[in-house]
Structure 1
Amino acid sequence: MAHTYQVIIIGAGASGAGLARDLALRGVDCLLLERGDVNAGASGRNHGLLHSGARYAVVDPRAAAECAREGAIIKRILPQCVDDCGGLFVAVPGDDPDYISAFPEYCAAAGVNCRAVDPVAARALEPALARDITAVYAVPDASVDPFMLSLENVADAQRHGGRFLRRHEATGFERDGRHLRAVRVRNTETGETAVYAGLQFVIAAGGWSGRVAALAGCRADLLLSKGTLLVTQSRLTKRVINRLRGPGDGDILVPGGSVSILGTTSVPVADPDDNTPTIAEVDANLSEALPLLPGLATTPFRRAYAGIRPLVRATGASGEGRKASRDFALLTYEEAEAGGVDNLMTLTGGKLTTYRLMAERAADALCRRLGVSAVCRTAEEAIPPSDLAAWSDPSPAHKYAWWQKHSPDDYLLCECEVVPQSAVDGLLRGLTERRADPDDERGNDDGLAPAADLLPAVSYRSRVGKGSCQGTFCGARITAHLYDCALAAGTGGTAGLKRFLRERWRGQRPVLWGDQMAQAELKEALYLGLMGLDGVDADVPEDGER
């Protein structure tokens, strides 16, 4: 514990990654800790909608204005992550006429570009829309890849001197009166423990922020809302489609590469780990979306997933997630009732679209505490594309580019999403090579990823397992490749395979019907009947395995 970081950030979602980049660009020595992997929480379990602000123009004008400004910035600094597809707000019979007529005025007040579109012309643009739509407005919504966004921020933070440790869970703090001196962590794969000293500490752990704050003897009273979303087998629309009404279930369809994502529900929960989608939540999304997009009745779905959103409770509002503010908050703990700590803060709430602004506000506050005069540069400086995020791109153009120039011996390990052996090998090198700098007094050695973590980590950093087979074939291929490359031994590789398949299955189960049931039986026969994965312990890799 010889080195003391200026700032230690706990949580590598979009806001934590964005904060690490902001601080690194200002020359602040920072450490980013994550108990799982990048975007393991709500940052990786959302629509991937880059808001124009129109969705909140009526109910939360401040949040709408922030989205309008920040969406334009993200399009400029991270174009590799954005599909600037545009969006439509569409009304159907029965929607509130007062809301519809007031919508353009509220958008204008929030600085959101909004124009009326003739319903017949809208159906020509998007044939999946219902025939009886009554009003349509076009807005500058877009789709963004949340994994690529966070990975690019982490890569740029590292490029400017920041340090990132994945699979490192905060287990406690060392406290001296009103001051935190260090955070205690445990490597969730190896069980090894370490202590990292810091001057300032930031919790950016999403729904888990309250638990982390409690480790320091502090209290963060957050409202948690579970949102379930569905992934279609193919892309249904060119643009983002929004229901022209107040926020509700199943009212947004967002294109994401070759698929579309429908959602979302809003169910209050007490446990941030309660993120398994249910059949009832799937049905709620579909029943609300069908009047707008009737073709969903016969559309096959790849999977469902759910994220836990930490929300800031609006003054006087009930505990319903829809009534909580979509604004973000920077919580401090100087008051005795909150914990009486002077160098801890929690960054929470907000949306993916406002991650950069959230990071800027937190970094400004931290720099004031540290006496650092450097100003924010994240709104002006674009993030260059990195190898870390190159294979998370869902666009068909990315796949076509590989087909046009690939080597004949560069075999596909994931056929559905066109992820070749060369891409997997590149990701594996980044996960298994030591990156220690002998001249770095911080002891900056991120170590080796254990074998049981390799396939899940490759999946996080690429499109592996996200295609129509949901890992049925690529899971076995990549696991065999790990053994061929001597990156796995014993049950280490199969433990990782079980983890990978377990996560895919959790999302498949609520949407199984028709032909998908037969496909699920094939997966069961392959991995349980043939490979016996039900007898493999996915949580405790053998000693000495990577």
Structure 2
Amino acid sequence: METQVVIIGGGVTGTGLARDLALRGVQCVVVEKKDLTAGASGANHGLLHGGGRYVGNDLEAARECAQESALLKRLAPQCIEDTGSIYVALEGDDERYVADFPQLCARCGVEVEPVAVSEAREMEPELSDRVIAAYGLRDAAVDPFMLTLDNMAQACALGARLMTHTRVEALERDDGRIVRVRLRHTRTGEETVLEPRVVVNAAGAWAGQVGALAGLRFDMLYSKGSLVVTQQRVSDRVIHRLRRASDADIVVPGGTVSILGTTSVRVASPDAIYPEVHEIDTIIDECARMVPSLASARYIRAYCGVRPLLAEGSKRADRTVSRGYHLIDHNVCGLGNFITITGGKLTTYRLMAEKTADRVCDLLGLDTPCRTHVEPLPASEWGRWTEPGKAPRHWVKRADPSDLVLCECEMVPRSTVDSLVDQIRREGEAPTLEAVGVRSRVGKGPCQGNFCSQRIAAHLYEAGVYRGREGMESLMGFLRERWRGKRPLLWGQPMVQYEFQEALYCALFSLDLEARREDGGEAGS
């Protein structure tokens, strides 16, 4: 199959690039080995950076974040809650940095406003009484799932193609170019061969592995960041610790919850990563210094992602490595049609996509200008169900007593699941429980899938979506992912909930036996 461009990676950068190219009339195929947002795009704190976090040590990243966040608020408002933010210093913090902060912001074009401590505590009553200084900035909360899905939806509407659960097995070279991209579907085993004119490596933390398939080497730093989610939202605004970027200094409101983070731990590989107990303890302890109620709050999930940082021979600590993006043209290495885009932030994805698309068009001999900086990102059917409260409003509006609620925590009814099944099929993929979870609020509430997972799996069997063992395997995969996020939080109510889950799925449904059978006799989950 011929195409002008193959984009490897289905995160926000890859899908943003697909949209940019599609708007310029360029044919492209997005290839993702798992599902959309499977990497850092789905494992961040949902913070739309206004730039303040980087004014002390990364001026370029601060400027880019300030400019791009303002653009996205205007062009993709459905994905953003414009909360604003408050930066607070506590007793014992570096007062020189506090005093210099307005000037540091000014040199990067970051808008900042001093806030009296008494006013700050009126704005956010949960703040500590140890706050000594505060500033207001323009950070916001962004839904990374909706943002990614909306970008991919418009790209596909304009002719792009999405291939999820498809692994790149080989990049075949000839005369200084990649002439064939060999793909294999991870579930069916079906092989596809693409013959592109340009290949873009947008694989995030896996960019080095993709580059190796083309015979290239560039070193990546794998910096794991863990986060933890509260059951209830604790603030109206984003709350930052007023100090140079460090561990556990951000509390981000995300719909009905708050997300606390993050850590920075060097890992050897972006695969098989887990949030660890000591990280969660650090996050809660440090964030509770800003918001004391967090010390006794209920937490429903922990998760982690890997920052795609380019090493560039640096021996510096991960926190000091630039959060700017890297656009690498591999022509200097003898590959004239291979480009890598990595690094950067969720906030700067559009800029990264624009610069990459400009280079792609140069290689294709096109001079079509970018439109994503002026054309709004349309809300799509793909991303509509990730919004908290959307499914309950839909259910109430339908007023259909036969429309059974399958996920009680997030009030997701059967009609919403059926809508998602139809949508996923239109994408050309199998509508599994995991795919439904990526595109909705299913499993994201306080019970973390305890009840809704088996209800939805049963419904998918009844609807003829699952046959044989497919549903059982999908259910086990879904529960494993939920378990990974609950394991570091096993105290108090989460421990009680876990004991119930074990009784339900192991004693009643015998899924532990299913898992052992699947793993050849080893313990499954």
TM-score range, shorter chain: over 0.9
Q: CA deviation at 1:419?
A: 1.1
Aligned pair partner of 1:333 in 330, 337, 342: 330
**CA distance in structure 2 between the aligned counterparts of 1:401 and 1:239, rounded to whole angstroms:** 27
| SS in structure 2 of the partner of residue 373 of structure 1 | coil
**Paired residue type of 1:393:** E
**CA distance in structure 2 between the aligned counterparts of 1:36 and 1:306, rounded to whole angstroms:** 17
**CA distance in structure 1 between the aligned counterparts of 2:170 and 2:200, rounded to whole angstroms:** 14
Which segment is superposed worse, 287-296 or 488-497?
287-296
Q: CA deviation at 1:106?
A: 1.3
Which segment is superposed worse, 319-328 or 255-264?
319-328
**Paired residue type of 2:377:** I
2:453 matches 1:475: yes
Instruction: Tell me the C-alpha RMSD between the 2 structures.
Output: 1.7
**CA distance in structure 2 between the aligned counterparts of 1:486 and 1:402, rounded to whole angstroms:** 23
Q: CA deviation at 1:539?
A: 11
Q: CA deviation at 1:274?
A: 3.7
- Contact 1:496–1:538, Cα closer than 8 Å, also in 2: no
- Contact 1:314–1:324, Cα closer than 8 Å, also in 2: no
| SS in structure 2 of the partner of residue 335 of structure 1 | helix
Q: CA deviation at 1:184?
A: 0.6
**Paired residue type of 2:102:** P
Which segment is superposed worse, 318-327 or 47-56?
318-327
Q: Which residue of 1 aligns with 2:422?
A: 429
- Contact 1:491–1:536, Cα closer than 8 Å, also in 2: no
**Paired residue type of 2:486:** Q
Aligned pair partner of 2:270 in 269, 272, 286: 272
**CA distance in structure 1 between the aligned counterparts of 2:320 and 2:95, rounded to whole angstroms:** 21
Aligned pair partner of 1:416 in 399, 409, 429: 409
TM-score w.r.t. length of structure 2 = 0.96
**CA distance in structure 2 between the aligned counterparts of 1:352 and 1:537, rounded to whole angstroms:** 36
Q: In the comparison of the two structures, how many residue pairs are matched?
A: 519
Q: Which residue of 2 aligns with 1:544?
A: none
2:514 matches 1:536: yes
**Paired residue type of 1:102:** D
- The 5 A counterparts of 1:94-109 are 94-109=92-107
Aligned pair partner of 1:353 in 347, 354, 365: 347
Aligned pair partner of 2:502 in 502, 510, 524: 524
2:367 matches 1:373: yes
Aligned pair partner of 1:220 in 213, 218, 221: 218
Q: Which residue of 1 aligns with 2:523?
A: none
- Contact 1:499–1:538, Cα closer than 8 Å, also in 2: no
Q: CA deviation at 1:431?
A: 2.2
Consecutive unaligned residues in structure 1, runs of 5 or more: 436-445, 542-546
Q: Which residue of 1 aligns with 2:125?
A: 127
- Contact 2:285–2:295, Cα closer than 8 Å, also in 1: no
- Contact 1:498–1:538, Cα closer than 8 Å, also in 2: no
Q: Which residue of 1 aligns with 2:116?
A: 118
Q: Which residue of 1 aligns with 2:208?
A: 210
**Paired residue type of 2:346:** L
| SS in structure 1 of the partner of residue 371 of structure 2 | coil
Aligned pair partner of 1:502 in 447, 468, 480: 480
Q: CA deviation at 1:422?
A: 1.0
Q: CA deviation at 1:332?
A: 2.2
Q: CA deviation at 1:513?
A: 0.4
**CA distance in structure 2 between the aligned counterparts of 1:229 and 1:539, rounded to whole angstroms:** 33
Q: Which residue of 2 aligns with 1:462?
A: 440
Q: Which residue of 1 aligns with 2:522?
A: none
**CA distance in structure 2 between the aligned counterparts of 1:187 and 1:314, rounded to whole angstroms:** 33
Q: CA deviation at 1:66?
A: 0.6
Consecutive unaligned residues in structure 2, runs of 5 or more: 520-525
**CA distance in structure 1 between the aligned counterparts of 2:466 and 2:397, rounded to whole angstroms:** 32
Q: Which residue of 1 aligns with 2:321?
A: 324
- Contact 2:219–2:311, Cα closer than 8 Å, also in 1: no
| SS in structure 1 of the partner of residue 131 of structure 2 | coil
| SS in structure 2 of the partner of residue 488 of structure 1 | coil
**CA distance in structure 1 between the aligned counterparts of 2:360 and 2:516, rounded to whole angstroms:** 40
- The 5 A counterparts of 1:25-36 are 25-36=23-34
Q: Which residue of 1 aligns with 2:139?
A: 141
**CA distance in structure 2 between the aligned counterparts of 1:406 and 1:509, rounded to whole angstroms:** 38
**CA distance in structure 2 between the aligned counterparts of 1:399 and 1:92, rounded to whole angstroms:** 40
2:303 matches 1:305: yes
- Contact 1:312–1:327, Cα closer than 8 Å, also in 2: no
| SS in structure 2 of the partner of residue 341 of structure 1 | coil
Q: Which residue of 1 aligns with 2:281?
A: 283
- Contact 1:268–1:320, Cα closer than 8 Å, also in 2: no
Q: Which residue of 2 aligns with 1:6?
A: 4
Q: CA deviation at 1:217?
A: 0.6
- Contact 2:486–2:494, Cα closer than 8 Å, also in 1: no
Which segment is superposed worse, 424-433 or 209-218?
424-433
| SS in structure 1 of the partner of residue 37 of structure 2 | coil
2:190 matches 1:192: yes
Q: CA deviation at 1:540?
A: 7.7
**CA distance in structure 1 between the aligned counterparts of 2:316 and 2:422, rounded to whole angstroms:** 46
Q: CA deviation at 1:220?
A: 2.1
2:260 matches 1:262: yes
- Contact 2:385–2:441, Cα closer than 8 Å, also in 1: yes
The verdict on how the C-alpha distance between 1:85 and 1:289 changes in structure 2, with shifts beyond 3 A counting, is same
**CA distance in structure 1 between the aligned counterparts of 2:60 and 2:392, rounded to whole angstroms:** 39
- Contact 1:419–1:463, Cα closer than 8 Å, also in 2: yes
Q: CA deviation at 1:474?
A: 0.3
TM-score w.r.t. length of structure 1 = 0.92
Q: CA deviation at 1:534?
A: 2.1
2:468 matches 1:490: yes
Q: Which residue of 2 aligns with 1:443?
A: none
**CA distance in structure 1 between the aligned counterparts of 2:370 and 2:171, rounded to whole angstroms:** 29
Q: CA deviation at 1:533?
A: 1.4
- Contact 1:391–1:419, Cα closer than 8 Å, also in 2: no
- Contact 2:391–2:413, Cα closer than 8 Å, also in 1: no
Q: CA deviation at 1:535?
A: 2.9
Q: Which residue of 1 aligns with 2:151?
A: 153
**Paired residue type of 1:69:** Q
Q: CA deviation at 1:120?
A: 1.1
